[in-house]
Amino acid sequence: MPRIVKHPELRREELLDHAQALFLTHGYDKASLNDVIATAGVSKGAFYHYFASKEALLEALAERFA
């Protein structure tokens, strides 16, 4: 599968979008980091480029609504 290069801010927003959908559907505790990575279609390394942890991802989501 060819690699798709996207603008970093767009990729970050996509990760947030996928995480938000999973957290709303399954709850924060039941949605795994691997679920977020798989639905977003990124590697684990790419995820960690944008967020240090699942908790950091949740904090970024909270900032969206602050």
pLDDT in tens, 7-60: 778 999 999 999 999 999 999 999 999 999 999 999 999 999 999 999 999 999
pLDDT given for residue 1 in this prediction = 54
- Whole-model pTM? 0.87
CA 32/CA 60 separation, integer angstroms: 16
CA distances from 49 to 2, 28, 30, 32, 65 (A): 20, 21, 23, 18, 23
pLDDT given for residue 48 in this prediction = 97
Q: What CATH number does domain 8-64 carry, 2.60.40.3880, 1.20.120.330, 1.10.10.10, 1.10.10.60?
A: 1.10.10.60
pLDDT given for residue 8 in this prediction = 78
- The amino acid that residue 60 corresponds to is A
